[in-house]
Chains A and B, each alone.
Chain A
Amino acid sequence: MTGGGGSSLGASGGSVVHFLLWSAFPNRAAKLAEVDVSGDAMPREALLTRTFVELADTLVADFDVVDLLTRLADRCVDVLDVGAAGLMLAAPDGELRLMASSSETMRLLELFELQSQEGPCLDCYRTGQPVLNQDLATANGRWPRFAPEALAAGFQSVRALPMRLRGTVIGVLNLFHVESGEMRQVDVEAAQAFADVATIAILQHRAALEAQVINEQLQCALNSRIIIEQAKGMVAEREGLDMEQAFRTLRSHARNHNLRLVDVAAFVIDGSLPPSAIDRLPRTEPS
């Protein structure tokens, strides 16, 4: 049935949705680059602009996702005037895991580690809302274990921004400040843009992996079919059958011996299954 959108969401309608989703990623990356290229040339803005262009460029070519996320965490420290930054991703089991960090100091890593149980990242991940301007000195009630640890590590306030994909939060960008006080709105926006770039990077990476797997599957399917057609030709010629009969001969041999059709076909072609060893079909029909 053709018709409206509702009826089209059958077997192949789903692929249209998938297709639109997929196609959206490069689009968003390109848009980020375009929007930010037009930014004013203040030194900090220029740095921000350059960062986005650099990140968007990286997304186009083959890229190492961890390397890119680490670079992104580093840029957060350079551009947003924070003490440390990290990106945590939700694993399939729903637990947050650290993907990249601006520094590998033990104390910082422990702060991320802790957040699988409590902290700004977990709150942000659960609610989908950013955690902004939370001074650690007053956050003991909110995060009884995380807050004292973070203070001891030399940080005064924390922020967490969601990595969002159409209503789903896939991870969190975490910023640690050495001073307390509010983050400028423009910095909050820049931080959210960084979180969006991280989201795009991860999706692009997944899409690229998926593309490779599907392509291999596609080539394999085409190959199998060709091998079967060639084997049909060989059997047809040897046994004086037509293609349909040759196909049924191969298929019945595969079934009788519990083999895959494509394997039987490959054996015929490479000669390891001599014609005399192929099961004959009962000659019921005229040939």
Chain B
Amino acid sequence: MANSGRRERILSRLVGAGAAALETSRLCDVCADVVNVSGAGIMLMSGDVLRGSLCTTNAVSALIEQLQYGLGEGPCVDAYMQDRPVLEPDLVHPITLRWIAFTQPAVEAGVRAVFGFPLQVGAVRLGALNLYRDRPGSLTDDQHADALVMADIAAQAVLVLQANAPPGRLAAELEKGADFQYVVHQAAGMVAVQLEISVAQALIRLRAHAFGNDRPLAQVADDVVARRLRFDTASGEKDFSQ
């Protein structure tokens, strides 16, 4: 009974009075609101590839998604890969040290607890819901149950929105407010030509450069596209921006 009550309560928040249309930004806002956390984000994934961020509620949740996109690790990645909720109630003093690259920049941005919930409809896996809080502490049983129902609704909502899209195209509602890091792929294309390697290898080089220089991947990609950074100089990568 509790669960169907939860579902109805969340659905009425989502599509209730004043809601003109189902939007991903609203989806994220309701996620954060219902579970009562500092912020929420929805990450789309497929296979073992992070596709990008569908929506985030604020700059910190956007950073959480960007970090995971750039580093390939974090609560969303684990929740999706392991097909279960991944809970880290205290990022500063974790019980098990995971996410060696993700943790420090996340903590510096004010993240104290992170929670990842897989998005799936039946056997179809779409990505993960990402929740964070600016103070440590576990989710209560009630919040946890809300988050599970919310993840379920979010997964269905993504499919419902995409169902209206013309074939081969991403639904406009999904594109709006999303960050699919297209610039990273543009940069990968350029680096592939510069080094005469495949785009997949070029993506790895970009990630390695970002990690090695402690810079966000998107920023590195921006520099490549703006031709401030090249990868094909004799002495390795040449950064014209400094």
Contacts and interface: CB of A to CB of B under 8 A. Distances in A.
Task: Point out which of B160, B163, B170, B188 has the most chain A C-beta atoms below 10 A from its C-beta.
Answer: B160
Contact of B20 (A7, A20, A208, A233): A7
B194 to A, nearest CB: 6
A232 B20 contact: no
A217 B165 contact: yes
Nearest to B203: A230
5 contacts: A18-B160, A224-B168, A229-B183, A230-B185, A230-B189
B186 A12 contact: no
B123 A14 contact: no
Given A208-B121, A212-B124, A225 B182 contact: yes
Interface in A181-231: 207-208, 210-212, 214-215, 217-222, 224-226, 229-231
Interface residues of A, number: 52
Nearest to A60: B122
A23 B189 contact: no
Interface string B152-171: 11001111111111011110
A62 B3 contact: no
Interface stretch (A130-138, A160-168, A234-242): A234-242
B164 A229 contact: no
Contacts of A11: 164
B122 A208 contact: yes
Contacts of A233: 185-193, 199, 225
B193 A226 contact: no
A193 B168 CA distance: 41
B4 interface: yes
Interface stretch (A26-34, A67-75, A96-104, A114-122): A26-34
Nearest to A271: B198
B186 A236 contact: yes
A13 interface: yes
Contacts of B194: 237
Contacts of B76: none
A20 B11 contact: yes
Contacts of A16: 15, 19, 21-22
A186 B189 CA distance: 69
Contacts of A269: 189, 199
A247 to B, nearest CB: 10
Q: Report the interface size class on chain B.
A: 35 or more
A18 B22 CA distance: 11
A220 B168 contact: yes
Given A2-B18, A215-B126, A237-B194, 12 more contacts: A18-B160, A19-B156, A211-B124, A215-B124, A218-B126, A220-B168, A222-B46, A233-B190, A234-B193, A236-B225, A243-B225, A269-B199
Interface string A43-67: 0000000000000000000100000
A140 interface: no
Contacts of B4: 27, 30-31, 34
B15 A214 contact: no
Interface string A62-90: 10000000000000000000000000000
Contacts of B144: none
Nearest to B51: A222
Contact of A19 (B1, B15, B51): B15
A46 B231 CA distance: 72
A20 to B, nearest CB: 6
A8 B20 contact: yes
B8 interface: yes
A3 interface: yes
A267 to B, nearest CB: 13
Task: Point out which of A2, A16, A34, A237 has the most chain B C-beta atoms below 10 A from its C-beta.
Answer: A237
Contacts of A264: none
B201 to A, nearest CB: 12
B163 A62 contact: no
Nearest to A216: B124
Contact of B156 (A23, A31, A232): A23
A127 B110 CA distance: 63
